[in-house]
Amino acid sequence: MVPEALQALGLKWVHRTFGERTRIERWFRTMKARTRRFFNNFPVRKRTIPKIKLFIRLFVLWYNFIRPHQTLKRPPATPIT
């Protein structure tokens, strides 16, 4: 009942099935798949938040600057020359 809750708060709501939303959902799917592989080894005891923030920063670095894109055959953030 998300549309009703947003409408009650006076907020506009638009359902989208393509575009920018698809890209970010794909990014989260990749991130979830990568974290699922080492879930049992992820450090969750002391100082959890800083370790999680570090992991996310490293993941973003890998995803945008190191990982070769399947279609582009190069990292997505690499400038086209």
74 Cβ contact partners less than 8 Å away, ≥ 6 residues apart: 68
User: Over the chain, what is the mean pLDDT?
Assistant: 78
Domain count, the chain: 2
Return d(Cα 67, Cα 64) in angstroms, integer: 7
Same domain, 1 and 31: yes
Report pLDDT for 40: 62
pLDDT digits (tens, 9 = 90+) for 58-78: 888 988 888 888 787 888 788
**Residue 19 scores a pLDDT above 80:** no
Same domain, 38 and 1: yes
Q: Give the structural domain span for 28.
A: 1-42
**Residue 20 scores a pLDDT above 70:** no
